[in-house]
Amino acid sequence: MSAAGRFAPSPSGDLHLGNLRTALLAWLFARSTGRDFVIRMEDLDRVRPGAAQRQLSDLAAIGLDWSEPVIWQSARREVYRAAVAELTSAGETFECFCTRREIQEAPSAPHAPPGAYPGTCRDLTEPQRAQRRGDRPAAIRLRADTASFTVHDQLHDQLHGDYTGEVDDFVLLRGDGTPAYNLAVVVDDAAAGIDQVVRGEDLLSSAPRQAYLAVRLGYPVPEYAHVPMVLNTDRIRLSKRDGAITLAQLADHGIDSARALTLMAESLGLAAPGESVDVETLLRRFDPARIPREPWLFTPPG
């Protein structure tokens, strides 16, 4: 299986400029290192009809290409359940009947971060579990044997060194049977040969859990690069309320996909102001060491 990088959007709406910039960086990282590039639709939760196709069209519009077929998480539910079954047969999971509110209100261990799972259901006896099953469906949690895990991040290492984050008994399958994000991405990355994960730095805190789970499942841990975000002028992550941030919205203001690519390239130091570029030109110029470490403050037109 070839090594690969990936971009994994949720088809809950159109991609905005921040999403597209991250996709561009993921493509540049992959292609500059001779890797394949994979698109995965993370469609286990919210899905808006037509959003996935528009996302693929927008990625193609800025010049990105990828290996077919596109991966759909919704078609892989049994694969995720098989991974959980493997862990369960080894005694590495447990049933949890707690609601989110109960977890938030439960006394936590000293020095535990807010919201960390307090271990309420970890050591229930079988009679106790049988009694609780009548109250609500159980989620399945990983029985963690560490409180933290360290990952190496290609970008953050140059500023902060390796990144260590908390690992608690996190959810693998939700109570309704839906595979949890941390499980699905780890299983999918391993299955597709993804050994390079480039994504927004807002997801850095999830990397230790995912890397730890990969080790528990016997998978290789990918290389990470968590790239700076695109923020609005209030230094808040771009969102729908900002307006004029998708390719379609930018086009309404006279900014076509080629110009949008130029704006992203300028923000990355890969193009002079107003210079017309394409992704092949950016690939020749790309150097991860020169990626700006600060967020890009973008002012939507109009």
Known binding residue 98? Answer is yes
Q: Cβ neighbours of residue 131 under 8 Å, at least 6 residues apart?
A: none
Question: 72, 184 in Cβ contact below 8 A?
Answer: no
Amino acid identity for residue 68 in this structure = E
Q: Is residue 7 annotated as involved in ligand binding?
A: yes
Residues 6+ apart with CB under 8 A from 169: 94, 96, 117, 119, 122, 141, 142, 143, 144
240 is in an annotated binding site: yes
89 annotated to bind ligand: no
Catalytic residue among 160, 240, 253, 290: 240
Token pair in block for residue 108: 């936590």
Annotation-wise, does 10 bind a ligand? yes
219 labelled ligand-binding: no
Examine the residue annotation and report whether 266 is marked as an active-site residue of this protein. Answer: no
- Pairing outcome for strands 223-227 and 194-200: parallel
In this structure, what token pair is assigned to residue 76?
Answer: 């892989």
- Comparing CA positions, the residue from 269, 275, 263 lying closest to residue 287 is 269
Q: Which of 12, 11, 24 is nearest to 61 (CA)?
A: 24
Q: Is 96 known as a binding-site position?
A: yes
Is 8 marked as a binding-site residue?
yes
3-class DSSP state of 70: strand
| DSSP secondary structure code for residue 31 in this structure | H
239: its two tokens = 């969102």
Q: What are the counts of helices (DSSP H) followed by strands (DSSP E) for the chain?
A: 11, 12
Find out whether 223 is annotated in a ligand binding site.
no
Q: Binding site for Zn(2+), residues?
A: 96, 98, 117, 121
Q: Binding site, residues?
A: 6-10, 42, 96, 98, 117, 121, 181, 199, 240
Q: Binding site for L-glutamate, residues?
A: 6-10, 42, 181, 199
Q: Binding site for ATP, residues?
A: 240
Catalytic sites, residue numbers: 240
